[in-house]
Amino acid sequence: DQQVKQNSPSLSVQEGRISILNCDYTNSMFDYFLWYKKYPAEGPTFLISISSIKDKNEDGRFTVFLNKSAKHLSLHIVPSQPGDSAVYFCAARDSGGGADGLTFGKGTHLIIQP
């Protein structure tokens, strides 16, 4: 029973265009969302986050949008660059206390084509 879903295993985008990575969740107790980027043979690195009290957070080329009613978030990267090619994981934190571990999606492999 996946609580965080990334339905696109891979996404191919041309350099310079916008990349949009999507994430859906089912647990209404999630109150904080993070995006991580992972290169092969490396651990995930934090990219950007958003609290459930916001609907948008921007950091340079990266913007995360949160639609709480739809339980959906998306990561926009514009313009896309070759170094953005990586696996992107959506993660969420449960506000209900207890586990402080993050719940991750399966990831989307973003490929930026020249």
Q: Which is nearer to other proteins, 75 or 91 (CB)?
A: 91
In the complex with other proteins, which residue's Cβ is closer, 12 or 45? 45
| Candidate ranges 13-21, 44-52, 56-64, 74-82; the one touching other proteins (CB under 8 A) | 44-52
**Binds other proteins (CB under 8 A): choice among 64, 77, 91, 92:** 91
The minimum distance between CB 99 and other proteins, in angstroms, equals 5
Region of 39-47, 56-64, 67-75, 78-86 interacting with other proteins (CB under 8 A): 39-47
For 39-114, strand residue ranges (E) read 45-51, 56-59, 62-67, 72-77, 86-94, 103-104, 108-113
Name the amino acid, one letter, at 105: G
Instruction: Phi first, then psi: give them for residue 89, nearest 5 degrees.
Output: -110, 135
- Verify binding: residue 103, other proteins, rule CB under 8 A: yes
By CB atoms closer than 10 A (0-12, 13-18, 19+), residue 78 is middle
